Amino acid sequence: MNIYQSLNQMITYIEQNLDQDISYTKLAQFLGVNEYTMQSLFSLLCNISISDYIRKRRLSEAGFYLYKTDAKIIDIALKYQYENPTSFSRAFEKFYGIKPSQIKNNPEKLKLYPKLHFNESIDDRNEKFEYSIIEQEELILYGKGFETTHENIGKEIPLFLKEIYEKYFDLYGYIDYGMIVYKDTIEDRYTTPHLEYWALYKKKIPEFTKYTIPKSKWLSLSIPSLEPKIIQEMSQKFYLSFLPSSQYNIRPLPELEYYHDDITEFLVPIED
């Protein structure tokens, strides 16, 4: 079974349980990984976090249910796993642009967030990767970061790096590390999940934020480029082709990109 078959099984399970509690443990079992690795894989392969996907599918169904029936808002909120009408109404208004009570008189506002489906005939498992496992001591880095989303990170990183170099290159030179901090957690049920990208230096720079990376083991993949687009493409292939068939689980630590000698070491933290 390839990863696309497993993802389709995950989607089927989600669809069957939109009005019930969805077990992240069960979702991880479809991929044969732990919950954190499942969330990371889904986000990278689908360009949306698992929590955001579930939230949008539930709100999509809730809108049509409210429009077609005379159900009370509190009942719909509970049906689609919201703790109270207030949190449901806030999420509903952000998704549709109107309050739940207004949807019957504004059918043009109905919005369908489609169910994902993956082409199971694609099989990228023959992609070859040369990697190593390294153990790295605690890292203390200094830099600046910005908050973004899975959908926007690809286009926003180059703009951010351009700004960093325009302001600081003459003072500090090229950055040493890029870092992606995944902020999506199982608790992020009612808000739009996000992540952060950081540009970091090894040298101590008092005006920058200090960031400590604990000691860990890492999967290291060498990418012969410093271009953000190429790094993103290679990292996606790594997650798609290598990680699902490996025996490794990801630790809940940032993902690192170490820039040196015209190459990028792509570093993924793994459990012992």
Q: What is the pLDDT of residues 32-67, one digit of tens each?
A: 888 988 988 888 788 788 999 999 999 999 999 999
In the predicted model, is pLDDT for residue 186 greater than 70? no
**Average pLDDT of the chain, as a whole number:** 88
- Per-residue pLDDT band for 125 (boundaries 50, 70, 90) equals low
Closest CA to 53 of 140, 154, 151, 173: 151
Whole-model pTM? 0.74
pLDDT 10s digits, 152-171:
888 899 999 999 999 999 99
Q: How confident is the model at residue 122 (pLDDT cuts 50, 70, 90)?
A: low
Under a CB-based contact definition with an 8 Å cutoff, are residues 156 and 197 in contact? yes
Nearest to 196 by CA among 178, 212, 222, 209: 178
Q: What is the Cα–Cα distance from 215 to 200, expressed in whole angstroms?
A: 17
Nearest Cα neighbor of 220 from 263, 157, 175, 161 is: 263
Per-residue model confidence (pLDDT) at position 184: 58
Map out the domains of the chain with their CATH numbers: 3-109 (1.10.10.60), 131-270 (3.20.80.10)
End-to-end Cα separation, the chain, in angstroms: 26
% of residues, the chain, pLDDT over 90: 62
